[in-house]
Structure 1
Amino acid sequence: MPTDDTIVPLGAAYFPVPAGSPTRSYAFLLVPGFTLLAFSSAVEPLRIANQLSQQPLYRWQLMSESGAPVSSSSGISVCVDAPIGPMDRATRAFVCAGNPPSAAAAPKVVGAIQRHARFGGAVGGICTGAVALAAAGLLEDHAFTLHWENQPTFREDFPALCPSANRFEISGPVMTCGGGAAATDMMLSLIAEDHGAEFSAMVSEMCLRKVMVGIEKEQRSSLSVLIRSRNPGLLNIVTLMNAHIEDPLTLDDLSRVAGYSRRHIERMFLSVLGETPGEFYRGIRLDHGRTLLSTTDMGLLEVALACGFGSVAHFSKSFKTRFGTAPTKFNRTIRAARKTR
């Protein structure tokens, strides 16, 4: 099982999550022929969530029937942490399968999922993992899905069950997806339930995936999605803020360019974003500073000036307030990590 050092990797991007947020556990039961793409698409959003928050929001464990490495559908074998066994009730347990779908119905796999559900645990299926849930009798009262290629055979084997055509389904304690990129979709939905839509949107950004499928062709998601507003005035002001990080505009400047009164701008920010314009703007500038410290060799004064702060002292105080650590300490940690890579 990964340690805290490995599940909370360092990164340039950051998104604050309340300190001390609980760690949620996942277990991935790998069966022979599981789809590597679907498995990694499920795990990586959890890793990214940890990296963005710099907290162990998620922990995961890999299991197989015997505890031995499992060969994926591409022939690449993946080592696991343990043989299939009892799991803590709070663990979300997913069966990761592929072709042949029948591999998911192995007695030991079905028994483990059945037992976990009986004691109140949440269960899921990735790609053809729903076959294990069906064999365990866990799908009768839930919406579910599996990869479209395998649905005709599934209907033959389980004529009383009807999978949906959706990319994923979350129905109470039962979670299923069609595999591939749909595994990411499902995990982003679960992350949104745990930590909010804005945080999930940022995880999606890190996956170079659109927050809302079909909205944009660009890698970055729509600003309107990220800040949950389509108010043109607010979007215009935030765009201006992002364009003026080194030379911050005053609220009077923003008011004049946007064509709104100061009071109206303050009300918009507080009602939509829960922050004053100054607090939000400072957050943008500090996030930029953190990125510069993470990815460049710039000194603190250079970074402070690049973020529109007149002194290192002002920058340092604001940085520590936002990120919980002084920029000097953060810089030392980043540079030490670079040397060990």
Structure 2
Amino acid sequence: MQPVIPDTDSDVPITFGFVLLPGFPLMSYAAAVEPLRAANTITGRDLYRWWHAAPGGGAVTASNGVAVVTDVAVGEGRLGADRVFVFAGGNPSGFEDPALSAWLRRLARGGATLGGISGGPYLLARAGLLDGHRCTLHWEHVPAFQESFPGAQVVRSLYEIDGARVTCSGGIAALDLMLHLIGRDHGPGLAAGVGDWFLHNQIREGLSPQRMDLRQRFGVRDPRLLRVLGAMEEALETPLSREALADIAHVSVRQLERLFRDGLGTGLHRHYLDLRLDQARRLRRETSLSVAEIAAATGFADADELSRAERRRARRGAQAR
């Protein structure tokens, strides 16, 4: 590959601090650190440096069991950093560390740009660093995050840069974020060169959607069915009636039922119920909401109704096996 020399006179490397929490997503971490290495290799210059920290220091294990040896424990040492990114996966809502929160606030006061990747924004929000800021995080964490931190302005995008706060939904979106930052730091030519290095031939914008569109996710093309599927996902707390959904599709209820059976192989009611139960499961895992509060947030009359629906689905699953 022909080296792409940055259009800059600065010889001062930009330093990243990567804070890894137990169970951090290795895909997101690799997608963030590897572009920095590639930028240095392609140009033959020390454009970026980085260090690692974890609560308690030592080795920290990713979600797949791979361990990364960190340089310092959270709060220790005097390593400088221009940007500090927190990586968290699994159930970030269950991780509380007052020392980490205090350290992040201290770094912010010192002028560092603070970032969170995948579930990392949880830790920034818990430290009070996302109030009034636009932010994003992995779509699976969004409902619980919004319940816990109403002061943050959640955008369902790949990544968000709002002043000195950088958040990213995780996965390979971290690669798009880093290419954007490399382009901003050293010009679009280097960003394109790093993208080519990783066979990433299209750098996605931050506002690109996180998830595949409904057509791809469900393998359906009928616009009537797609409209109803979208409406269902937007109305989990107050489920729409069959009649209201049929009006959205501009068909009768009977026709709509046929569209679901033919397009998805399941009934309208079953699909909607599964969406709500999936949401309830995420809220159970990622929040401290009571069962009654989760039931209300997913359109069930009370905790008993939710529990009965969960038991029925579990029995269906057992019978299918």
Q: 2:16 aligns with which of 26, 39, 42?
A: 26
What is the identity, as a one-letter code, of the residue corresponding to 1:36?
L
TM score, norm. by length of structure 1: 0.56
1:144 to 135, 156, 171: 135
| Aligned twin of 1:16 | 5
Instruction: Return the offset for 1:108.
Output: 2.1
Partner of residue 183 from structure 2, selected from 185, 192, 198: 192
1:3-152 alignment, distance < 5 Å: 13-17=2-6, 18=8, 21-85=11-75, 90-102=81-93, 105-152=96-143
SS where residue 136 of structure 2 aligns? coil
Note the C-alpha offset of 1:141.
2.5
Distance apart, 1:206 and its partner CA: 0.7
CA distance in structure 2 between the partners assigned to 1:117 and 1:20 by the alignment? 24
Unaligned runs of at least 5 residues, structure 1: 1-11, 215-341
SS in 2 for 1:42: helix
- Residue of structure 2 in register with 1:211 after alignment: 202
Gaps of 5+ in 2: 206-321
1:74 Cα deviation (Å)?
A: 1.1
Aligned Cα RMSD in Å?
1.9
- The 8 Å contact of residues 89 and 116 in structure 1, kept in 2 or not, is answered as no
- For residue 77 of structure 1, what is the amino acid of its counterpart? A
Task: Please state how far the C-alpha of 1:102 moved relative to its aligned partner.
Answer: 2.6
The 1-side partners of 2:151 and 2:204 are apart by 32
Give distance in 2, aligned partners of 1:91 and 1:103.
28
Aligned mates of 1:211, 1:202 — CA distance in 2: 11
How far residue 78 of structure 1 moved from its aligned partner, in angstroms, is 1.3
Asked if structure 2 preserves the Cα contact closer than 8 Å seen for 1:64 and 1:82, the reply is: yes
Residue 120 (structure 1) shift = 1.6
Give me the whole-angstrom Cα distance separating, in 1, the residues matched to 2:106 and 2:165.
Answer: 14
Structure 1 pair 94–108 and aligned structure 2 pair: CA distance change class (3 A): same
Q: Deviations over 1:29-82 (max 9, x none)?
A: 110111000011000000000001100100000111111211111122211111
Q: Whole-Å Cα distance in 2 between the matches of residues 76 and 88 of structure 1?
A: 25
Distance 2:29 2:140 in 1: 17
User: What's the secondary structure of 1:205's corresponding residue?
Assistant: helix
Q: For residue 175 of structure 2, give the secondary structure of its aligned residue in structure 1.
A: helix
1:105 Cα deviation from its structure 2 partner: 3.8
**Residues 17 and 81 in structure 2, CA contact (< 8 A), matched pair in contact too:** no
- Give the total of aligned pairs: 203
Inter-partner Cα distance in structure 2 for 1:32 and 1:106:
12
Q: Is the 8 A contact 2:133 2:153 kept in 1?
A: no
- Counterpart of 1:177 in structure 2 is 168
Confirm or deny: 8 A CA contact 2:134 2:154 kept in the other structure: yes
Measure the CA separation in 2 of the matches of 1:153 and 1:50: 38
Distance in 2 of aligned mates of 1:74 and 1:104: 18
Deviation at 1:212, TM superposition (A): 3.9
User: Alpha carbons of 1:43 and 1:212: their partners in 2 closer, same or farther (altered >3 Å)?
Assistant: closer
**Alignment correspondent of 1:297:** none
CA distance in structure 2 between the partners assigned to 1:196 and 1:19 by the alignment = 12
Counterpart code for 1:16: I
Answer whether contact 1:127 1:146 (CA < 8 A) is retained: yes
Deviation at 1:103, TM superposition (A): 5.3
1:148-197 deviation per Cα after TM superposition (whole angstroms, max 9, x unaligned): 01111111211333311110001111001000111111111111110011
Aligned match of 2:313: none
TM-score when normalising by structure 2: 0.60
Partner SS, residue 142 of structure 2: helix
Residues 30 and 70, structure 1, Cα contact 8 Å, conserved in 2: yes
The Cα shift of 1:88 comes to: 5.5
Q: Structure 1: how far apart are the matches of 2:97 and 2:30?
A: 22
Structure 1 residue matching 2:135: 3-state secondary structure: coil
Q: Structure 1: how far apart are the matches of 2:127 and 2:177?
A: 22
